[in-house]
Amino acid sequence: MAVIQDLPPELLIRILELSIDSLLFSSSQKETRKTFTRTALVTRDWRAPSQSLLSSLFHLDDAHPGCWRRYLEALCTSDGQRFRRMKRLKLDVDRQNRSALAGQLTLLQQKDVDLQELSLVSTTSRGTSRVPNALLGWLVQGIRRLELDTSIQIDENFTLSTKLLLDTLRIGSLVPELPSFLLPFASAAPRLTRLELHCWGERLTPTLNASLCELAPQITDLTIALPLYSSERRDDTASSLESFLRACTSVTAIRFFDPTPSDLKHTLSFLPNCLALLAVSNLSVDTLQDSMPKDLAETFDLPCMAKLRRWRMTSRTNSTHAMGERVEKEWRAACRARGIEPRGAERFFTGESSVGVQNASEPC
């Protein structure tokens, strides 16, 4: 009789991956380390896969200088592969001393650190990242995910020698323009098919909007986070996305954060392509309403919803604007009447692609 220890290494690794938070927020890092430290002690066959995951899922944020310093010290003294795999590196371009940052990144390059995700943020509005261009090529060459909440200052003669492996781009609406090494997308980043657009600030600049319109036909998986609380700003943001969304001719999966029923209907009306998967997090509705909002009901009749297979609706714990029980029941009934599978927070690991999450086995 086969037991779990007899499984091929790739299946064992996948099972171990499912034991942790798929989004891997920094707040879950401690629990992630505990989990894989424990699984490494279960049996000899589990040790190598657990230790491999422990190193490959390592996140580093320069907002925690103690952890950053200890990692660099360990990297300097290590002569093996233990510290050379990093899931995600987050750099605040305003916090770091430029010369110190250059030295630290040079060390990572010299030690041939395998970086999967890079996040560049700025604590000031419209800040600009000044990562040394000599190191920028190494930083972005092998990453699969790039997060930009700030623009990157790049020399005119900066070029990359090979195509990017990037498959996911997350950008904030305060970014005035995309870095030139991403352009043209079809040749520079041919694998880029996932876009996460966080519209928590101002309208998109004309330059950014033009770049997004160029990227749009390449995107199959889209996430849109709308501004909180301000209905006027949400309406303005949704309208500013029209040209980009009309150019999204390949999107089949989309996720929204914090929309109202009106936002949802307005934004989805621009899509020219039929969706297969739709996920909505934190739909804001009037809790006193005892029937499905008119805009939500009319969303079902939009052209992009004609072939929808699954609609997931989730909300924050104790949310004051979540759907009431009667509204949710009516929404679920409307989904089933149209052949759409309604889902809540429950998830089933079926190997399908996800919407707006990094774990490819966790479906919408």
Domain locations along the chain: 1-57, 69-343
pLDDT at residue number 26: 46
pLDDT at residue number 207: 92
Q: Is 76 helix (H, G, I), strand (E, B) or coil?
A: helix
Instruction: Please choose, from the candidates 213, 201, 235, 180, the residue with its C-alpha nearest in 3D space to the C-alpha of residue 126.
Output: 201
CB 342 within 8 A of CB 335: yes
pLDDT digits (tens, 9 = 90+) for 316-356: 766 666 778 889 999 999 999 999 999 987 765 544 433 33
pLDDT at residue number 36: 84
For the chain, report the end-to-end CA distance as a whole number of angstroms.
Answer: 35
Kindly give, in sequence order, each residue whose CB lies less than 8 Å from that of residue 298, ignoring residues fewer than 6 positions away: 265
Residue 322 DSSP symbol: S
CA-CA distance, 239 to 237, in Å (whole number)?
A: 5
Instruction: Report angle CA 230, 235, 240 to the nearest 5 degrees.
Output: 125
AA identity, residue 171: I
Taking CA atoms, 324 is separated from 255, 284, 291, 293, 330, in Å, by: 21, 11, 9, 11, 10
pLDDT at residue number 104: 80
pLDDT at residue number 88: 81
Whole-model pTM? 0.81
pLDDT digits (tens, 9 = 90+) for 97-135: 666 777 888 888 888 888 888 888 776 655 566 667 778
CA-CA distance, 202 to 227, in Å (whole number)?
A: 9
**pLDDT in tens for each of the 364 residues of the chain?**
567 667 787 788 878 877 775 544 445 667 777 888 888 888 888 888 887 777 666 666 666 667 777 878 888 877 656 677 777 888 776 655 666 777 888 888 888 888 888 888 776 655 566 667 778 888 888 899 999 988 777 777 777 888 999 999 999 888 888 988 898 999 999 999 999 999 876 678 899 999 999 999 999 999 999 876 666 667 777 788 999 999 999 999 999 998 989 999 999 999 999 999 999 998 988 766 778 999 999 999 999 999 999 999 988 766 666 778 889 999 999 999 999 999 987 765 544 433 333 333 334 4
The β-bridge partners of 61 are 90
From 3.40.390, 3.80.10, 1.20.1070, 3.30.1370, which CATH number describes the 69-343 domain? 3.80.10
Whose tokens are 């300097």? That residue is: 76
* Buried b / exposed e along 241-280 (16+ C-beta atoms within 10 A): beebbebbeebbbbbbbbbbbbbbbbbbbbbebebbbbbb
CA-CA distance, 8 to 272, in Å (whole number)?
A: 43
Count CB neighbours of 337 within 10 A.
9
Instruction: Please choose, from the candidates 242, 238, 249, 239, the residue with its C-alpha nearest in 3D space to the C-alpha of residue 215.
Output: 249
Strands 59-61 and 114-121: unpaired
